Amino acid sequence: MIRYAYIALGLLCVGLAAVGVVVPGLPTTPFLLVASWAFYRSSPRLQAWLLASRLGGRIRNFERDKGMSRKAKASAIGCMAVMCSISIIFFIPSTLIKVVVGMAGMVGCLTVAFVVRTVEHKAEPADE
């Protein structure tokens, strides 16, 4: 029964991560990390599927480097700032929701900037 709960949690998190790719203010990577953890505990097949998917690159990079490069952080912060700004300016009519989206965007940017570890980009070994 617990195995199925982990699988359900993993699938839910993959779905939320997929939505987070296009919805400003909704993070992607934390959901992917939880999904990977849940699949690790329940289904090696689902974990292999997740790691092999387009979203799996984020997990592999984070697990390998234990953080994000400066370039990846700058890209993530820039994308969050731009998408939240576009949403606030053009798509959200309610002032309260504008404030909520703005605050969520600021929390996301500050988290990436100051909580997520910055790692130097490691050179990949050349194939022979």
3-state SS, 9-21, equals HHHHHHHHHHHHH
128 part of a folded domain: no
106: containing domain: 68-121
Which has the closest alpha carbon to 80: 118, 2, 27?
A: 27
Residue 122: per-residue pLDDT = 58
For residue 126, pLDDT beyond 80: no
Which of 52-56, 93-97, 101-105 shows the lowest per-residue confidence on average (mean pLDDT)?
52-56
Tally of domains in the chain: 2
Residue 67: per-residue pLDDT = 81
Same domain for 3 and 45 = yes
Residue located via tokens 């990436």: 112
